Structure 1
Amino acid sequence: MGRRIALLVGCLLVVVGTATAATASAAGPPRPGTTDSGLNETEEATLWSKVPPDYWAARPGEDTTVHELATGTELTFTEPPGLADRWNRYAYEQYRPGGTDVSVHPEGAYTHSYSYIEDAHATIFSMEPSTRTYVESDDERLYVAPEGTLRGVVDYRVDVPEDSDSGGGSTTYRLVDHGIDEVRFYVDGEVVDTAAGTHRPAFEYDLEFDAESLTLEARIEATVEKTVRPPPDSDRSTRTYTYDVWIEVWNDYEIEVYDVEAGVDRVRYPDGDEGVAITQAQPWQGYTLDAAGEAEIRGIWRFFLARRPGWGWLVESTDRGTNPRESHALPVAVNAYPSAMAPRAKPEGGEPTILRTWGPTRETPRSRLPETVAVEVVETNYTETYGLAVRTDGVDPEDVTVHGIVDGVDAGAQTLFEEPRHIRETELSARIVEETDSEATVRLRLADADTGEPIDLEAEGASAFSNARSGYLEIDGRRVRTDEAGEATVRLTDPGAYEARYEPAHWLDAPTAYAGATATVRWHPLASPTNWVGFGVRVGVALLPFALAWYAGKRLGRLVRFGGPRRRE
């Protein structure tokens, strides 16, 4: 008689470990220029940042310059390179499953076994486009584009017991059937697509912005027939048992959907120059101000390519153990890090000029980068460039392009104002309104040069980026702000010439942008007719005793004469 016994097994979360360098050149990355990937030797040399410097023996005169450079140092990029997707398309096709008794998987994957199914795994090969971003020592993010492709690999092996004889009877096993029944693609725990059994499933996706996880899951099945034959002299009959076993394995990643939703603030300076400030909540690469991309502002992020975590090399698992497998099926990933060489404006030494960068302060992620990667990451705390403001000689909003840190995710800037705000000219006057012998009261007045309207520096206003006053006036080392009438008073006690200066708030910080202005005022106690009269009175009073003494002496000298004979009448 025959019986079918179904064995169930729980699910396994396949976790990818940290990638390490290959232990043998045959199992690690191929030497640049030796594949048919469609990439040239120079391009392939930039893929393997995690490879130790002495991994490939140098061949002076044969390797390209970039290849020789890549042998001893890491090659970094100023923008997310598209080479990762080009290589991964090729590498994905190089993956070959191992057959019935061999399971092929990356060295960092966790495999699961149950009953007759051994070393089963479902592992994400790549998510393109995507960028692994090292933000802080405890903050590593995987940004994926809203639209992309997830590629995976699935494999297993079937371990059929050996036949045996006992007491004249025998037990034999036969593998009836096996295979990958179905592969599923989940977004946030919901199935969004499935594929018939395949060792290389691939899924296109279009993600909502709030998606948080992607999962690849595979159901693997096997049917084994067991036949028990009794000894010839037994009264028992031959029995056949059929075992249907299945296992589900999966691999998931926490993600952040990446998109560029930038805002731009523009102003026009009195000389015709323009100020441009762009903000973007998620990390971003920078922006270009012209259609040709020659005027470029780069943020703090730079990029390198390296094998995906857990994909140091491929291994073959059999009932005798594991061995490295030579294969080009090694995916690479784009990695972003805060660079000590940024931010920068291009071309250097001219326009555009970076005015300000702002964002949250972060700790350096140096300790989180792979040990074998040596790049110019920031050494200490850094400011993540959420915003970049520049001054340039003019810009067409249609030509402004904001570039993300995920390959291909770019966008035109959404203007906050249809026309640029004008930085308005101002007029500053200073005059003495009251004075005494010891001090003078100076009234400062600040007004719009075009309209004559007073400028109130005490009023607070909100800009697109902060709440700030519109600046201050400074005279004699003191700062004051004007009132609703645009006026402020200052008392001066020391004679001299004074310069009053209007220091406007930066156009980023004020709802109305103004240009600076200066005015000069001079004060001295003798500077007015009234003070001259008073001065004369005081001098006269001071000299009166001397004048009286001189006059008295002169009169006395007439009455008394010394040194001559007396006249007789």
Structure 2
Amino acid sequence: MNRLLLSSVGLLILTATVGATITDTQTGDETPLPANETKKLWSLDDDNYVNESAYRAQTGQNQTDIGAYLNVTDWVWSRPPVTAAIWNRNDFASFADSFSPSPTESVYPENAVLVEGDRGWIEDAHATIYRAQPTTRVHLNQSTTRHYIRPEGRLFGLVDYRLNLPAEDDNGADGKKVLWELSDHGITKTCVLQGRTVGPDASSTCGRSGARIGTGSGSHTANISYDVRGTGSFTTSLTFAAVIEYSVVKTVKTRHSGTYEECRTVHVDGESRFDCDQETRTWWETAEKVITDRVVVSDTLDPVTVYDLKAAVQTAKTAEGTTSFIIQTQQLWAGATIDNRAQISTQWRFYTARDPDWDSFIVESNSDPERKESSLRPARVFAFPSSRGMSTNTTGNTPHSASILKRLEGQNRTSPNGTLANSLDLPVAADTYNDSRSVAIEYQNESGEVEADGIVRGVTSGGMEIGGTAEIRQTNLTLDVVASNSSHVTVRAVLQEKNTSDSIDLRSRSGYLFIEGHKVNTNASGIVLVTLEKKTTIQAKFRPGEWWEAQPGYTESQARAVTNSDFLTVDTQAEFWVRVFVYSLPIIVPFYFLDQLPGVSAWPPWKPWK
């Protein structure tokens, strides 16, 4: 009962907040997201209803309506949300401020690819992508999830390593001591490369201008903007690479020994002689060598599809001032915005969820590895085909409204329903869906600008000025009965342009006449004859084809003819009056001849009765 009631409240909340926006500054704004916006991000988490009293006992605060709604279901967006990008930027910045790397410890998520240097002195080195954004992962079907990226974006990544120098041998029992001292170490380069290859050697990894599309400062917590090379939509890879360098001073002390004889002149009893003493001495010879080495670490998003939305708009306006237009794209798309007032959404909807690969950290040192809860929680944006289909929404207090006239068919696909995580509560299309790439829309106002919105945040077709307005002409349809008998009737339909009376030939263009369910075409004169079973009223309607399929476009028109008596037809009326004339002759003729007699006034026949 509680869940049912809460769901109803949630639907009201969803409707009321559909126009709310959060600005993405892209300049490092550290202001945290409001609590309600943060809760919307975690669709992958289990939904557990918490009543008001339990929530107050746990948090000391009252639960908001949206918070209660999100306890039992997941939030669905009609556009890729900016909230995920804001969260990720702030989340990673907070981690970077508090992260204190140590040369004897390496911290990495479970999905990190670890590298060991050739000498074995550097271990557990890695460069792991925290998040590249903006991107959207699209659930196309039960086996395919495609990763789309915007050409210009930002990548956040973690780089770490630990140094494990050889043990010192300072005993000297064998006549030699070897000492090791770490002179310098650090991350000298970080970059984003287009493609998987990181270079033939470390020195060229981030120096190859042909592959490098973004350069960082050489930090453990990289924050790099990138710009993918190429035009249009295509598949490639994004590689995050780092070069780690270190210098070690190797000191070798070698023991040397020798016998020394020291002589002096001694005078004894007036005689002089040499007196020599022998002594064995030991000394250490020191030699130093600086050893410099480097290792390359990387992580790759492969494959990714660079998303570049191209859209074309055709439009037409009726005499009543209604604008209709068709938007056609070659890519998956989220919808369109008209004059920043009306919004059309395609069948694609969006949700966000955490990346479980970052749920915990491994801290590696010379002792046993230690698992710790991660303070990072990257949010990812996903798209799925919704059972709600296409929809419209008007923003602001304006009289403008939009309605979908026709959805043009795209590719039929199998729904991904059943393959998404069980914890997700989303309106996924049940069996199959059609990824429509075009839609015809009617807009109840003069329109100046249409913008198609992509499935990746920030990718639009740009403001497309509506131009080249198609012509829609008004029509006039007439319907006459030309022949009739006891069982059938023949009608003639004439279709013309209303203002010019020009004939409309339907044989070589879209559009039909429907006369009592019979679909017919007019000829070059705009005329068609149809014989039907006789009925009192004959209805005819002209249904023009879509204006974008043929020019000029036409408006609908209709007509009807009444056949309640044979007397009403042209042929039967002529026959009736001929018969009246023939049958009245025997009566009229005598009156005429009587009138010729002297003194008799009998003509016209009705004169004697006056």
Give the TM-score normalised by the residue count of structure 2: 0.70
Aligned to 1:507: 547
CA distance in 2, matches of 1:222, 1:281: 50
How many angstroms does 1:499 deviate by? 1.9
Q: Percent identity?
A: 29
After alignment, is 372-381 or 204-213 more displaced?
Answer: 204-213
**Counterpart Cα distance in 1 of 2:152 and 2:216:** 19
Across the two proteins, how many residue pairs are aligned to each other? 488
Aligned equivalent of 1:183, options 190, 193, 203? 190
- Relative distance call for 1:286 and 1:193 in structure 2 (3 A) is closer
Q: Post-superposition shift, 1:179?
A: 2.1
Name the CA shift for 1:326/1:168 in 2 (closer, same or farther; >3 Å).
same
Separation (CA, whole Å) in 1 of partners of 2:380 and 2:460: 19
Distance across 2 between alignment mates of 1:298 and 1:417: 23
How far apart, in 1, do the equivalents of 2:541 and 2:73 lie?
53
2:411 is aligned with 1:360: yes
Distance 1:261 1:73, change over 3 A: same
**Cα distance, 1:232–1:50 mapped onto 2, change above 3 Å:** farther
Determine the C-alpha separation between the residues in 2 that align with 1:196 and 1:273. Answer: 55
Give the Cα–Cα distance (whole angstroms) in 1 for the partners of residues 317 and 124 of structure 2.
66
CA distance 1:41–1:118, change in 2 (3 Å): same
The corresponding residue for 2:33 is 39
Matches within 5 A, 1:310-321: 310-321=357-368
- For structure 1, the 5+ residue unaligned runs are 1-35, 461-468, 537-569
- CA drift of 1:502 comes to 1.5
Q: Once the 2 structures are TM-superposed, how far is the Cα of residue 100 of structure 1 from its aligned partner?
A: 0.7
The SS at the match of 1:388 is strand
Query: Any stretches of 5+ residues in structure 2 without a counterpart?
Result: 1-29, 198-210, 259-281, 581-610
Measure the CA separation in 2 of the matches of 1:73 and 1:516: 46
> Which structure carries more relative contact order (alpha carbon 8 Å, separation 6+)?
1
Normalised TM-score (structure 1): 0.74
Q: Contact 2:316 / 2:324 at 8 angstroms: preserved in 1?
A: yes
1:82-481 matched pairs, under 5 angstroms: 82-93=82-93, 94-95=95-96, 96=99, 98-114=101-117, 115-163=120-168, 168-169=173-174, 172-188=179-195, 190-207=211-228, 208-210=230-232, 212-224=236-248, 243-253=291-301, 254-291=303-340, 293=341, 295-308=342-355, 310-347=357-394, 351-358=401-408, 359-398=410-449, 400-415=450-465, 417-419=467-469, 421-432=470-481, 441-460=490-509, 469=510, 471-481=511-521
Code of the residue aligned with 1:111 in structure 2: it is L
What CA deviation, in whole Å up to 9, does each residue of 1:338-386 have, x standing for no partner? 2223422225999422222233222222345344433222222112242
Question: Partner amino acid for 2:327?
Answer: I
Q: 1:448: how far off?
A: 1.0
Indicate the residue corresponding to 2:73 in structure 1: 73
Asked if 2 retains the 8 angstrom alpha-carbon contact of 1:270 and 1:422, the reply is no
One-letter amino acid of the counterpart of residue 273, structure 1: T
CA distance in 2, matches of 1:255, 1:55: 37
Alpha-carbon contact 1:168-1:230 (below 8 Å) kept: no
| 2:524 aligned partner | 484
Asked if 1 retains the 8 angstrom alpha-carbon contact of 2:486 and 2:534, the reply is no
Q: Is the partner of 2:188 in helix, strand or coil?
A: strand
- Which protein shows a greater Rg? 2
Q: Distance in 2 between matches of 1:55 and 1:174?
A: 58
Decide whether aligned partners of structure 1 residues 248 and 87 sit closer, same or farther in structure 2, where only a CA change above 3 A counts.
same
Aligned CA distance change for structure 1 residues 500 and 90 (closer, same or farther; 3 Å): closer
Distance in 1 between the 2:562 and 2:33 partners? 74
Q: Is the Cα contact below 8 Å between 2:131 and 2:156 reproduced in 1?
A: yes
Residue 53 of structure 1 and its aligned partner are, at CA, apart by 3.8
1:49 aligns with 2:43: yes
Q: Which amino acid aligns with 2:318?
A: Y
Q: Is the 8 A contact 1:102 1:317 kept in 2?
A: yes
CA distance in 1, matches of 2:488, 2:75: 68
For 1:518, which of 558, 562, 567 is the aligned residue? 558
Letter in 2 for 1:47: L
1:554 corresponds to which residue? none
User: Matches of 1:495 and 1:343 in 2, distance apart?
Assistant: 42
**Which residue number in structure 1 is paired with residue 261 of structure 2?**
none
Cα distance change, pair 422–64 in 1 and its aligned pair in 2 (3 A) = farther
Distance in 2 between residues matched to 1:63 and 1:311, nearest whole Å? 31
